[in-house]
Amino acid sequence: MAIELGLFAKTALASRFTDWAKQYGPVFPLRIGSHGLMVVLTSAYHATHLLDKRSANSSNRPPSFVLGDLVFAGDHPMFMDANERWKLRRKLYFQLMNEARCNTEHIRLVEAEATHLLRDLCLEPDSFMQHPARYSNSIIMSLVFGIRTPHYSSPHCIELQRIVTELSNLGEIGASPPVDWLPFLKYLPERLWGDWKTRAARLRQRVLNLHSPLVDRVLERRKNIGTAATFLDGVLDRQEKLQLTREEIDIMCGNLLEGGTDTMATTILTFFQAMVTYPEVQARAQKQIDSVLTDGECPSWSDYDRLPYVAMIVKEVLRWRPPAPGSFPHTLAQDDEFEGMKFLKGTSVVLNVWGIHNDESRYPSPETFEPSRFAEQTRLASVYANAGDAQKRDHFGYGAGRRICPGIHLAERALFIAMAKLLWGFTVQQKLDSSGNPIPVDVNPATAYRDGFLNQCLPFDIDIKPRLGRQEMIMVAAAKAENDVLSAYE
């Protein structure tokens, strides 16, 4: 099967892969150009065996001239092979976001920022599309630099979102010539293909202009005040051993911001879409929360086991509209064989998350938002990801194998806490037009999201209002969170 150049410029690639899987089977090859070979996995069983159980052989990355080389100059972990440089970065990331630290050190920050999110929605409900990005960005900014994002209009938050959108757009198939498969196209005059080299060069400068001043602020603080318990401080304290260049440090910190901001914000916006579209789900969750918590009590991480339906909602949001529906390709380090299928060294392996999440044999009526499908899988996603059992896996929203999202423990907690508090504090419903008619929210996967690598929500309207008696409680809790936790950060 051959792919015509530019075929996917305006097409949902993961959806096309899913259609092909129905025709050619859950594992099918694609030949791109003269020598590029890709295998698409639209099966939890094959993903588990080839990416999880054989992760030692399936954790490399394919060439990425545009993003990996032109934008990040080989310093971004997402585009690195699974070599020693990549392993070091993953080790540092896991040291920051491992489960123990999330439970004992980071949870107070997440709880406080989630309470601040509720406050933001009370004060500026019409800006509901911006508040989740502030929430997610402030958590990761605080952990990496010790610097909060107090408002969605904070310049670094706005610029980061713009950069992530441009990365997603520039990384989309069709946005640049397929130089990784047909290298001679590097010499094609760029005016014939959307000035892709100029776009990449400008994006690189924007990335450095965003991250370098944040690193400078930490260096200045260390000189004038001293060290703090942040990711960057930990790296700088070990710099004599690590021997990282300044640009490597900038990009490594930036990678955490990119990965920790947009995907979580998009997931919360998708949660809003689902609650408006399926009000019975929202009502059932609120009923469970009200039955478990006493008057004046707001949900917290300690309530996870008492609120299983909220846990199911988190999982269903990630299944229904995964933030990265196509995943980023893995590459085989050596030849491999599985169940009679031979895979050559250098083959790119794509985890078709969208296709797996819409497999009717695995998730009946997949287009319907139905949290109860996870009634027997209410433990954290990391538990099922580590089990190595395709049948027990809840979803693939965090990826698979050694390339699984290193922030899975932090994300699981931040998403549950945010959604539980939002359900406790607010009711979301369709907005009314000037004639009093409800305005439907578009949740069509083909029209409700931006084209690109990430599944970013296009603007939509909802009506979000505090539940009876909640606003006063939220404002009191937000003031306490500011005084007890958030004031410790810049």
Q: Is residue 1 part of a domain?
A: no
- CATH number (domain holding residue 444): 1.10.630.10
Q: Which residues are annotated as part of the binding site for heme? A: 405
Predicted TM-score (pTM) of this structure: 0.95
Examine residue 6 and state whether it is found in any structural domain, yes or no: no
For the annotated binding site, the residues are 405
- Residues for the chain: how many in total? 490
What pLDDT digit, counting tens, does each position of 163-189 carry?
999 998 888 777 788 888 888 888 888
Does 377 map to a domain? Answer: yes
Instruction: Render pLDDT for 212-257 as a digit per residue (tens, 0 to 9).
Output: 999 999 999 999 999 999 999 999 999 999 999 999 999 999 999 9
Confidence at residue 35, expressed as pLDDT on a 0 to 100 scale: 56
CA distance linking residue 456 with residue 136, whole number of Å? 15
Stretch 117-122: mean pLDDT, rounded? 99
Of the candidates 222, 236, 224, 229, which has an alpha carbon nearest to the alpha carbon of residue 146? Answer: 229
Tell me the C-alpha distance between 145 and 261, whole Å. Answer: 14
Mean pLDDT of the chain: 93
Tens-digit pLDDT profile for residues 392-414: 999 999 999 999 999 999 999 99
Answer yes or no: are the C-beta atoms of 172 and 288 closer than 8 Å.
no
Residue 306 inside a domain? The answer is yes
Does a structural domain hold residue 5? Answer: no
d(CA 383, CA 368): 25
The domain total for the chain is 1
Write out the residue range of the structural domain in which residue 136 sits: 13-488
In a domain, 4, yes or no: no
Task: Decide if 404 is inside a domain.
Answer: yes
